Structure 1
Amino acid sequence: MSLNFILGQAKFDHRQEMIAQMRTSMTEHPDDQYFVIVPNHIKFNAEVGVLNALKQAMTDGNQTLYANGQLQVFSFTRLAWYFMKNTPTYQLPRLSNAGLSMLIYHIIADHQAEMTVFAGEMNQTGFINQIVLQFSERK
């Protein structure tokens, strides 16, 4: 396994160097996996761009379709998910914000008579969301 960085100023397009290195490496090591890490907001465009550039570099150009099972284009969060998806820690059940909202609503509804501070707040718009936000910040 190796890790390569292509560093430089953002005003220059470094894709040609990356594609040249990937083409060489994919030819020499056809069974290896390749990961390209990009910012989350340009992930789709970057993936399309990398695949189009590889298509030009690795085929005769007359091919209309191109796919590559060795290549993954990920954001950092998606890369973390890719490597952690099968670990025991990642498999722990998680409660979504919607589920947490429903749970808090039912708890407050069941104990509304006991709540002196928040007695009339339960019916106020956004109250449950504020409680959920406070719980989420404590994680």
Structure 2
Amino acid sequence: MFGIGKKAKKLDGIDMLIIKTEESANRHFYQVVFPSTYANDIVSMLRKLQKSPLNKREYLGEIGGFHISTHLEAMTGFEVLDEADLEAHPVQIQDFANILLRRLEALDESGEMEESEDLAFILGELTMLRDGTFVPQT
């Protein structure tokens, strides 16, 4: 019985991750948003990538060396107050996944990375996120 109200509320919400980057020229952090319903899967996959040897600047470009600093759960909305600030605008999970996926696919195709189960898993998850099969697009 405990937590029923929270769970029902969470299904309708928006989650946001604040992801900090080490040495990015354009952004020091990303606000990545996605439906709360998929939060557990998305957060666990991104945490796995964060801990992975793939989380390096030479592999992920400007996002390399990222870490998740904050996870905001089940928000009902947000408002961007500074339209001119690039970092003030949240990035949809599909777009964030696409950024990561393009970089990893290019490295994979060029042969600069060893094939591994981690790489295959991450590429599969990112592909599903980008294409909307993981998180249905509304």
TM bucket by the smaller chain? under 0.3
Instruction: Compute the TM-score of the two structures, normalised by the length of structure 2.
Output: 0.26
Structure with the larger RCO, 1 or 2 (CA within 8 Å, 6+ apart): 2
Instruction: Compute the TM-score of the two structures, normalised by the length of structure 1.
Output: 0.26
* Higher strand content, 1 or 2: 2
Give the greater-gyration-radius structure (CA): 1
